[in-house]
Each structure stands twice: as C-alpha cells, then as structure tokens.
C-alpha cells in the first residue's frame, strides 16, 4: 500500500472507520470470491477517498483484495433528495399550469366582454366600431369567428357612414373578390370616396386602377395625378409608381398630369363625395359591372 501524502493525513484520519466494527445488519460480500468474511479497509489517500466519496473501502480476508461498497445512507439520501426535487418540480409545474389556465379563462372572459361591447357599439351605428368588427372578423381575432362575407357587410356599413379606412378595405375586397363578387367598378367607387377625402392609400389604389384600366378608362394622366397626390403625403409605393409611370408618358402628358395634380391639391376635400372634375377622359359607363380581365399593358396615350 502506498503511503499517503503528508497534506492528506488529516483528511484520511477524519474519514476512516474503525476496522474492527462491521454492522451485522448489512455485511457486504466480496465481488471477487463472494466471501462475506470481509473487513473495513482504510483509505489509501485523500485522492482515493474523493474518487469514491459515496462508497466505503473493504478488504476480503479470503482473497485479500480490496473493493468498494456504496454507503447506504448517502445513496438513500440522494434518492430521497431526487424524489423530493421531482415532486417540487411537479408541484411548481402544476401551479404554473393552473395559473395559465386561470389567466387564459380570465382573458377570454375579458375578451368576450370587450367583443360584446364593441358589437353593441357597431349595431348602434358607430362607424369606427363597425370597422373594427370587420377587421377582427377578417383576422378571426378578438372573440369573433373568421368570416370574410360578414366582414364585408360591416365594412359596407362603416363605409356608408364615411369611414375612410373602411372605404379602402371595401374597395380592396371588391378589387380582389375576396369575400364578395369581384367588381372593379365598385372598387373604383369606394377608392374614389376615400381618395377625394385625402386618404393616401385610397389615392394610390385609384391610381393603380387608372394605370391598368380596371373599372375605369385606361388613363396615364389620371393615374399620375392620383399617384402624385398620394406620394405628396409620403406614401412610398405611390412615389415609386409615379416615377415608373413617368418613363411611359409623353412630355405633354406629364405637363397635363402635374397641372391636374396642382389643381386637385388646391381644391378642398369634399368629405366623401365624388372626385373633382377631371381634365382627362370621362368615365362614361366605367362603373357598370366588373371588368372581365385585368389589363397588363402599359401604353402611352
């Protein structure tokens, strides 16, 4: 047996047990020869004791070989601690789950109450509430079931009351045919109502219709005028569309379009009526029914 280092002498003395006492309740067997005639052995050094901190050293009197046996108290204590830890984690998870469920139910009750109050305002004729109900129905949020058809009905009610954002969304619905029959003429009508009130996005959408000839006569001058008004309010897509359109226009068309823009900008917003008189081609019959197919051509007049 190697001699222990001087620095570990105190550690070895503190943790060695009396060789003469082995409990009769538990007597280990030698794993090499299976003999139970064993005795407690001493730690060789502090390093060995640290490597086997949950075990005790024994020596077989028969085969003279050393072996290690787990200390039952430490093992049982470790198992008990692990069980208690798992129980604690389980209880904490349950409490967290209970709080989440409780909070979710409370949030649902609050959301339902808010939805009922919003719906009540909408039914009473509040245009903003009607618009919000429509948006929530489009997204299927706020306690409302997703229904594009019902959303269009609420958009129509809000639009009739002059809600500019609702007029834009209703125009987009008619343009795309999402939740309603596609009708470019109706899309133009609702875009025009918002555009005449200075709604930048409606002005941009109206310009797109004139640029492609959907629901309105094909007219670059008219498209430029609406793009220009929307761009003047900082709408970036309108700025890009206007600058792209310029490359397809003749100088006299650009001059007419810019003059039209200045004239329209000087006119007071009409609060939801039809746009001011135009210098370009008339719209005769342009609101009668949907256009069969979208024109993709971009040609100068």
Give the model's confidence band at 272: pLDDT under 50 very low, under 70 low, under 90 confident, else very high. Answer: very low
Higher model confidence: residue 114 or residue 139?
Answer: 139
> What confidence score (pLDDT) does residue 290 get?
31
Mean pLDDT, rounded, of the chain: 78
Q: Are residues 42 and 16 in contact, defined by beta-carbon separation less than 8 angstroms?
A: yes
Give me the mean pLDDT over the 172-181 stretch: 92
28-79 residue pLDDT tens: 888 888 888 888 888 888 888 888 877 888 899 889 888 888 776 665 666 7
Higher model confidence: residue 297 or residue 232?
Answer: 232
Q: Among 84-88, 99-103, 109-113, 293-297, which is the least confidently predicted range? A: 293-297
Alpha carbons 77 and 249: distance in angstroms, whole number: 88
Give me the mean pLDDT over the 247-262 stretch: 94
The domains located in the chain, with CATH, are 6-70 (no CATH), 164-301 (1.25.40.10)
> What confidence score (pLDDT) does residue 47 get?
87
Query: Which residue, 228, 250, 249, 254, is CA-closest to 240?
Result: 228
Give me the mean pLDDT over the 112-126 stretch: 86
Burial label for 246, CB within 10 Å (0-12, 13-18, 19+), is middle
Q: Are residues 241 and 226 in contact, defined by beta-carbon separation less than 8 angstroms?
A: no
Q: Is the pLDDT of residue 107 over 80?
A: no
Q: Are residues 2 and 45 in contact, defined by beta-carbon separation less than 8 angstroms?
A: yes
69-106 residue pLDDT tens: 877 666 566 677 778 888 877 777 776 766 665 555 55
Query: Which residue, 226, 151, 144, 217, is CA-closest to 192?
Result: 226
> What six digits make up the tokens of 262?
């200045």
Model pTM? Answer: 0.55
């Amino acid at each position: 047996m190697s001699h222990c280092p001087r620095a570990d002498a105190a550690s070895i003395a503190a943790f060695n047990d009396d060789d003469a006492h082995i409990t009769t309740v538990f007597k280990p067997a030698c794993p090499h020869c299976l003999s139970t005639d064993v005795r407690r052995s001493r730690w060789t050094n502090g390093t060995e004791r640290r490597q086997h901190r949950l075990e005790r050293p024994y020596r077989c009197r028969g085969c003279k070989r050393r072996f290690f046996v787990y200390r039952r108290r430490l093992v049982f204590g470790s198992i008990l601690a692990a069980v208690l830890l798992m129980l604690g984690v389980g209880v904490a998870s349950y409490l967290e789950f209970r709080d989440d469920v409780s909070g979710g139910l409370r949030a649902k009750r609050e959301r339902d109450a808010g939805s009922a109050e919003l719906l009540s305002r909408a039914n009473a004729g509040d245009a903003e509430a009607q618009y919000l109900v429509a948006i929530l129905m489009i997204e299927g949020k706020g306690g409302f079931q997703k229904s594009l058809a019902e959303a269009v009905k609420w958009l129509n009610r809000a639009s009739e009351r002059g809600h500019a954002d609702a007029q834009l969304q209703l125009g987009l619905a008619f343009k795309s045919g999402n939740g309603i029959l596609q009708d470019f003429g109706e899309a133009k009508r609702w875009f025009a109502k918002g555009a005449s009130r200075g709604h930048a996005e409606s002005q941009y959408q109206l310009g797109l219709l004139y640029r492609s000839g959907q629901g309105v006569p094909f007219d670059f001058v008219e498209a430029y005028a609406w793009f220009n008004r929307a761009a003047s309010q900082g709408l970036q897509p309108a700025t890009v569309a206007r600058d792209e359109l310029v490359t397809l226009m003749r100088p006299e068309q650009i001059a007419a379009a810019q003059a039209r823009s200045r004239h329209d900008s000087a006119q007071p917003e009409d609060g939801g009526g039809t746009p001011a008189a135009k210098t370009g081609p008339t719209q005769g019959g342009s609101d009668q029914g949907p256009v069969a197919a979208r024109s993709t051509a971009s040609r100068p007049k």
